Amino acid sequence: MAPITAVYEISGPDPALRAELVAVEQSHELPTEVAPANAVRDSLAHVRTVVERPGQPALVTVDYPADLAGGELGQLLVLLLGNVSLQDGVRLVDVTLPASLIEALPGPRLGIAGIRALTGAPEGALLATALKPVGMTVDQLATLAAEVAAGGLHVVKEDQGLANQPWAPFADRVPRLAEAVRRANPNTAYLPVVNGPAAGFADQVKLARDAGAHGVLVMPGIAGFGALSHAAELFPGGIVLAHPSFLGGFTAAASHGIAPDVLFGTLLRLAGADATIFPSWAGRFSLTQAQCLAIADAARRPLNGLPPTLPTPGGGMSIERAPELLAAYGPDTLFLIGGDLHRGNNPRRAAERLVAAAAAARPVKRP
């Protein structure tokens, strides 16, 4: 079977030696000379290439025997960066998996086509907002949700700041908001955030499902990467939207962690995200345009028949810049806009303006 291949950027002196240490750390985590012969033969990782680049980190390619992942996403993550995440100077920048492993991993169930079918939008950009701020009552949130749904947004998700606070407890809030959105626009998907204790995760997802929500928002950095596919199993036909909260340790600095396209694109797609939120350029966060377009590409590109994940740029988007951003991202995008929809104190009208702005966007031809 073809190996699992990971590419790392390694900063600092002697990258060839450090590459060998990464290969051992991430497979045997034991000096090779004391491992049994059968294990050395079958399960030890190997450094394939070390490319030194003046003024840049070295590019190191490591082959892992595919069986090391045991066909499981969690173990794939342990393998790719588990312990090495604790070391500065090593960054995971690319991953290639054998087809048999991709088939064993969850992947998106709905993907882009499923979200388009559910929201009655066969083409064009898709538009979303986040219900916030925390501290609003259920009545206030229901009014806001109905307004933006009536304004034509395809997805109304809850802000990750909503949980089970006294102002709008989960069990009170979710049925009310599902009803408000359904009445306002039958083509708008409502996605509550699920972030309670793990023992109650299934109950929360089922409550959302039975209340008439259209899926859930999950934070894999907190609930775990497996929570994405678990939610999909519990909520057949529901959208699983991944939120990057508490994942930023991996992407905030260039010298370690994981390249954003690998984390928010490839890995969350393999984990089962139908759509993946990431902090876009032109907002409050620091990823570059190139990094953001690479995330979108990793989410959508052909990958062994796996459904594509809908890239969902957010984090300070504006109506004004929607045409420019959607032109760059292309139509298979869920454009997530928050605070800017609240300006002017008429969220329905703001949503309508966003719908009009998106309709005016024309994709940029890219070579």
C-beta closer to a second copy: residue 24 or 327: 24
**Under the criterion CB under 8 A, does residue 98 sit at the interface with a second copy?**
no
C-beta closer to a second copy: residue 112 or 239: 239
Which of 179, 171, 183, 185 is closest to 213 using CA atoms? Answer: 179
Query: What type of residue sits at position 274?
Result: D
Q: At its nearest, how many Å lie between a second copy and the CB of residue 343? A: 6
Q: Which residues from 28-47 bind a second copy, rule CB under 8 A? A: 28-31, 34-36, 38-44
Q: Which residues from 326-365 bind a second copy, rule CB under 8 A? A: 338-339, 342-343, 345
Alpha helices in 1-85 (DSSP H): 15-26, 37-43, 73-81
Number of amino acids touching a second copy (CB under 8 A): 97
Interface with a second copy (CB under 8 A), residue from 4, 10, 136, 325: 136
**Under the criterion CB under 8 A, does residue 67 sit at the interface with a second copy?**
yes
**Under the criterion CB under 8 A, does residue 23 sit at the interface with a second copy?**
no
Q: What is the side-by-side strand order in the sheet with 257-258?
A: 46-53, 56-64, 4-10, 90-96, 257-258
Binding mask 261-290 toward a second copy (x if CB under 8 A, else -) reads ------------------x----xxx----
Interface with a second copy (CB under 8 A), residue from 119, 129, 188, 195: 195
Q: At its nearest, how many Å lie between a second copy and the CB of residue 98? A: 14
Q: Is the dihedral of CA 310, 316, 319, 322 positive or negative?
A: negative
**Within 10 Å of residue 95's Cβ, how many Cβ atoms?**
20
Radius of gyration of the chain (CA): 21
Residues in the chain, overall count? 367
Of 24-32, 108-116, 297-305, 329-337, the window that binds a second copy (rule: CB under 8 A) is 24-32
Q: At its nearest, how many Å lie between a second copy and the CB of residue 13? A: 15
**Within 10 Å of residue 229's Cβ, how many Cβ atoms?**
21
Q: At its nearest, how many Å lie between a second copy and the CB of residue 295? A: 13
C-beta closer to a second copy: residue 155 or 271: 271
d(CA 352, CA 151): 5
- Asked whether the beta carbons of 172 and 139 are under 8 A apart, the reply is no
Q: At its nearest, how many Å lie between a second copy and the CB of residue 282? A: 15
C-beta closer to a second copy: residue 226 or 331: 226
d(CA 26, CA 10): 15
